[in-house]
């Protein structure tokens, strides 16, 4: 990982802000990288993780293992084809020199887990993967989104916006909420500039300290504060903040130092001044926008919340069709039959083709992590998620006011786990959105007709909106177990239709 660390090495944060790095901030510009070099670096990093007790690094190690196993397969001589179709394999067409779809997905999965770790070495690994992916596929949407996420984690919001803008240029569907993130970062940067301008005006003595090393100036400011000399401390601390801004210190370190300064200023003054009140308001606004982006309607557009009992009453006595996002549905010509059901349920990044899929969507069921189709008008939207805080954050940032009349509340957040109490000892795999919904409808048992249309558990491939078609079929779900559960309860199986009632 030496090549990457020479470009940028994230400074370790001590008690507060560390000195800005000498190498300068990374940008959205890609440094050319060879695929073989990247894969060898992944192999080296895999060895470093042996014996780690950190759960995040353990997850990264597993993704690295899968990547390296796939790489080994691609290095092996290909067997001679048995017939004319021997070389055809759906979903694995190479579109770049040496970087086929399977290898691309595996590299992106490794980078995602590396980002989750957040440590210097893992961020450097993700940076190398980002360079490699965008060298091999300069118009990779997933590659540019990874670049934006990585630069954001590095504390480089302006560069992250460049990468995210490139991603948005390449896609029509924004299922990951990137536009809101970019808007939020831009508003936050404006508020940050206003805050710094206010500090310059209200603490004029700070400028004389703004040219010295930020770490030393900050330490002197803390010492002055400890000695009870607040005015001197204030000038030095603000001077250190100005120095960090000029040196383009990582955003997280600047924010940490700024929060510490405001805490000291609040405790040092018996009665907050109007200037301090304004500083705190700007600080809160820029932090809030950076986290979730601007919110057009804080009241969710007048949506009506549905509890478990209220949802039961709304579906009672109605025929229900659950439509899979499968290749079979995309070629089914069942549109008219699907629209004949009382309620049509669709999932996540569903795609509408009236002839094959039908026109109506009464209930949209989605995982909280993606934002596909959240802007499509439906009667009811159920958003599933395992972690309550993350689920609430997604509702706040992704929900489109006016796009739904009813929204499931927390009693409907994670049916298999929270209602069914099926823990990992009884259901080890993470339940899909489809299975959560199917389990819920089976549990409530108030629908005279409960049909699954096109559910082959992705054996025929995926049929989604264009922006989601290149997303891999996630490996965290155990489709075999879900299929077995369905078939145990099936009353009849006929062509495209599996009937549970």
pLDDT tens across 286-306, in order? 988 887 777 666 566 778 999
**3-state DSSP assignment of residue 449:** coil
Give residue 456's pLDDT band: very low, low, confident or very high (50, 70, 90).
confident
For residues 431-458, b (16+ Cβ closer than 10 Å) or e, as one string? bbbbbbbbbbbbebebbeebbbbbbbbb
Bridge partner residues of 382 (DSSP): 365
**3-state DSSP assignment of residue 379:** strand
Among 123-127, 171-175, 259-263, 383-387, the minimum mean pLDDT is found in 171-175
Residue 244 clears pLDDT 60, i.e. is over it? yes
Residue 45 clears pLDDT 70, i.e. is over it? yes
- Picking from 226, 217, 221, the residue whose alpha carbon sits closest to that of residue 244 is 217
268 neighbors 225 (Cβ within 8 angstroms): yes
* Predicted local distance difference test score (pLDDT) of residue 23: 41
DSSP H or E stretch at residue 338: helix 335-339
Angle at 497 between CA 319 and CA 430, to 5 degrees: 85
For residues 479-488, b (16+ Cβ closer than 10 Å) or e, as one string? beebbebbee
* Predicted local distance difference test score (pLDDT) of residue 400: 87
Residue 365 clears pLDDT 90, i.e. is over it? yes
Question: For 439-463, what is the mean pLDDT?
Answer: 90
Give residue 464's pLDDT band: very low, low, confident or very high (50, 70, 90).
confident
318 neighbors 430 (Cβ within 8 angstroms): no
CA torsion through residues 456, 319, 377, 431, sign: negative
Bridge partner residues of 305 (DSSP): 407
* Predicted local distance difference test score (pLDDT) of residue 396: 81
Burial bucket for residue 204 (CB in 10 Å: 0-12, 13-18, 19+)? exposed
State the Cα–Cα distance between residues 434 and 464, nearest whole angstrom.
14
Give residue 355's pLDDT band: very low, low, confident or very high (50, 70, 90).
very high
* Predicted local distance difference test score (pLDDT) of residue 86: 41
- Picking from 398, 350, 356, 338, the residue whose alpha carbon sits closest to that of residue 374 is 398
The one-character DSSP state at 218 is H
Contacts 24+ apart (CB under 8 A), 419-424: 419/308, 419/443
Give residue 88's pLDDT band: very low, low, confident or very high (50, 70, 90).
very low
* Predicted local distance difference test score (pLDDT) of residue 18: 37
Among 16-30, 69-83, 358-372, the minimum mean pLDDT is found in 16-30
State the Cα–Cα distance between residues 48 and 71, nearest whole angstrom.
19
State the Cα–Cα distance between residues 226 and 335, nearest whole angstrom.
73
In Å, how far from its chain's centre is CA 102?
21
* Predicted local distance difference test score (pLDDT) of residue 95: 40
State the Cα–Cα distance between residues 84 and 123, nearest whole angstrom.
45
Residue 373 clears pLDDT 80, i.e. is over it? yes
State the Cα–Cα distance between residues 20 and 248, nearest whole angstrom.
7
Pairing of β 304-306 and β 404-408: parallel
Contacts 24+ apart (CB under 8 A), 140-146: 140/104, 141/167, 141/170, 141/171, 141/467, 141/470, 142/104, 142/108, 142/470, 142/471, 143/108, 144/170, 145/176, 145/178, 146/108, 146/111, 146/112
The model carries a pTM of 0.64
Q: Which residue has the higher pLDDT, 87 or 455?
A: 455
User: Which pair of structure tokens corresponds to residue 405?
Assistant: 């009349």
Q: Which residue has the higher pLDDT, 99 or 202?
A: 202
Among 88-102, 152-166, 214-228, the minimum mean pLDDT is found in 88-102
Dihedral pair phi/psi, residue 259, rounded to 5°: -60, -40
pLDDT, averaged across the chain: 86
First CA to last CA across the chain, in angstroms?
A: 57
State the Cα–Cα distance between residues 87 and 412, nearest whole angstrom.
46
- What percent of the chain stands above pLDDT 90? 66
- Picking from 38, 66, 57, 61, the residue whose alpha carbon sits closest to that of residue 128 is 38
Helix residue ranges per DSSP H, 11-87: 35-48, 55-75
**3-state DSSP assignment of residue 381:** strand
Q: What is the pLDDT of residues 376-385, one digit of tens each?
A: 999 999 999 9
3-state helix, strand, coil in the chain (%, to 5): 55, 10, 40
Question: For 198-225, what is the mean pLDDT?
Answer: 95
């Amino acid at each position: 990982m030496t090549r990457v660390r020479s470009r940028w090495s994230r400074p370790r944060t001590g008690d507060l802000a560390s000195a800005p790095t000498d190498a300068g901030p990374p940008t959205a510009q890609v440094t050319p990288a060879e695929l073989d070099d990247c894969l060898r670096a992944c192999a080296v990093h895999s060895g470093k993780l042996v014996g780690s007790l950190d759960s995040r690094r353990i997850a990264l190690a597993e993704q690295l293992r899968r990547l390296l196993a796939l790489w080994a397969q691609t290095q092996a001589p290909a067997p001679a084809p048995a017939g004319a179709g021997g070389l055809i394999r759906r979903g694995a067409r190479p579109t770049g020199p040496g970087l086929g779809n399977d290898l691309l997905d595996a590299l992106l999965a490794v980078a995602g887990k590396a980002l989750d770790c957040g440590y210097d070495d893992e961020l450097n690994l993700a940076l190398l993967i980002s360079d490699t992916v965008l060298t091999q596929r300069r118009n990779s949407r997933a590659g540019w989104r990874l670049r934006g996420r990585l630069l954001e984690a590095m504390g480089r919001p302006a560069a992250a916006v460049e990468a995210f803008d490139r991603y948005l240029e390449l896609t029509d569907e924004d299922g990951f909420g990137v536009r809101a993130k970019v808007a939020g970062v831009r508003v936050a940067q404006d508020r940050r500039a206003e805050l710094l301008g206010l500090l310059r005006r209200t603490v004029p003595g700070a400028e004389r300290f703004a040219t010295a090393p930020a770490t030393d100036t900050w330490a002197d400011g803390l010492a002055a504060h400890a000695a009870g000399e607040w005015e001197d401390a204030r000038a030095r601390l603000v001077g250190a903040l100005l120095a960090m801004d000029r040196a383009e210190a990582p955003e997280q370190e600047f924010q940490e130092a700024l929060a510490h300064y405001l805490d000291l200023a609040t405790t040092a003054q018996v009665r907050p001044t109007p200037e301090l009140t304004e500083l705190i308001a700007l600080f809160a606004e820029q932090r809030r926008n950076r986290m979730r982006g601007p919110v057009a309607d804080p009241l969710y557009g007048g949506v009506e919340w549905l509890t478990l009992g209220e949802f039961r009453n709304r579906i009672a006595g109605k025929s229900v069709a659950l439509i899979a996002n499968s290749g079979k549905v995309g070629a089914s010509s069942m549109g008219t039959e699907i629209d004949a059901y009382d309620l049509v349920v669709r999932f996540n990044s569903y795609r509408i083709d009236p002839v094959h899929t039908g026109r109506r969507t009464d209930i949209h069921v989605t995982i909280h992590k993606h934002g596909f189709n959240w802007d499509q008008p439906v009667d009811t939207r159920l958003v599933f998620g395992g972690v309550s805080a993350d689920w609430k954050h997604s509702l706040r940032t992704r929900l489109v006011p006016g796009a739904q009349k009813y929204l499931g509340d927390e009693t409907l957040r994670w049916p298999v786990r929270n209602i069914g109490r099926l823990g990992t000892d009884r259901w080890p795999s993470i339940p899909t959105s489809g299975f959560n919904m199917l389990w819920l409808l089976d549990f409530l048992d108030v629908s005279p007709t409960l049909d699954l249309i096109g559910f082959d558990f992705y054996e025929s491939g995926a049929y989604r909106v264009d922006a989601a078609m290149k997303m891999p079929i996630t490996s965290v779900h155990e489709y075999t177990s879900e299929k077995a559960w369905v078939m145990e309860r099936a009353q009849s199986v006929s062509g495209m239709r599996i009937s549970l009632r």
